[in-house]
Structure 1
Amino acid sequence: MDIRIICCGHIGIMHDSSGCSSTLRALAGTSVPHLHFPGMPMYYFHVRDLEPSTDEYGEEFPNDDAAWKHATGFAGEVMKDIDGRFRPGQEWSVEVTDEQKQVLYRIEISSRQRK
């Protein structure tokens, strides 16, 4: 079953057999089907830290600037939620790739202790 949704002037189709959209999952607080807007490019957000995570599902955004805005907001939320667990000598990054897996952006956060 498909459900049509209108968001930001685009008509999307929600498929109940696909992976989960992290943005919708965060908004709903649960697992939600992937929302597909035909013609919108896919972007992938790969996190590198103590436990690297490869984004297999991706997110759709109208352009690179919108994907960058999402990446910076995501990085800010992650750092806000670390709550003292990020230690000197650790590194964290999020890498944004396009549909062809080409790296568009990389946000890196590192820490070190100075003596």
Structure 2
Amino acid sequence: MPRYFFNVIDGTNLHDDEGTDLPDLETARCVAIRYAGALLEESGLRLRFGDTWHLEATDEARNVLFQLDFRVRPTP
């Protein structure tokens, strides 16, 4: 089973050194979205307008497979 790593890049980078064994890329996508949601819920009060961060999923060779991008911005 492939191992996926989920890294948060936000200025104080959080790198996943353990990874998670998952059956496929589609499952990794779902896990990444749930993880990002949990992070947003946890840090909702700290996020300010202009803040940006992303969560990247990599394989065991550390190749980026996909990325979720987040930006807090007011609407015009």
Normalised by the size of structure 1, how large is the TM-score? 0.60
Number of residue equivalences: 76
**Does the alignment pair 1:106 with 2:67?**
yes
Aligned to 2:37: 76
Structure whose alpha-carbon radius of gyration is higher: 1
Deviations, residues 4-61 of structure 1 (Å, cap 9, x unaligned): xxxxxxxxxxxxxxxxxxxxxxxxxxxxxxxxxxxx1110101011311111111110
SS, match of residue 74 in structure 1: helix
**Does the alignment pair 1:95 with 2:56?**
yes
Segments of 5+ residues of structure 2 without an aligned counterpart are none
Distance 2:70 2:44 in 1: 15
Aligned to 1:62: 23
Query: For residues 63 and 114 of structure 1, do their structure 2 counterparts lie closer, same or farther at Cα, with a shift above 3 Å needed?
Result: closer
* Sequence identity percentage: 32
Distance 1:103 1:83 in 2: 26
Segments of 5+ residues of structure 1 without an aligned counterpart are 1-39
SS, match of residue 50 in structure 1: coil
Question: Runs (4+) of structure 1 moved beyond 3 Å?
Answer: none
| Cα shift at 1:114 | 5.5
1 or 2 for the larger relative contact order (CA 8 Å, sep ≥6)?
A: 2
| Cα shift at 1:89 | 1.2
| Cα shift at 1:112 | 2.7
Aligned to 1:48: 9
Distance 2:37 2:19 in 1: 19
Normalised by the size of structure 2, how large is the TM-score? 0.88
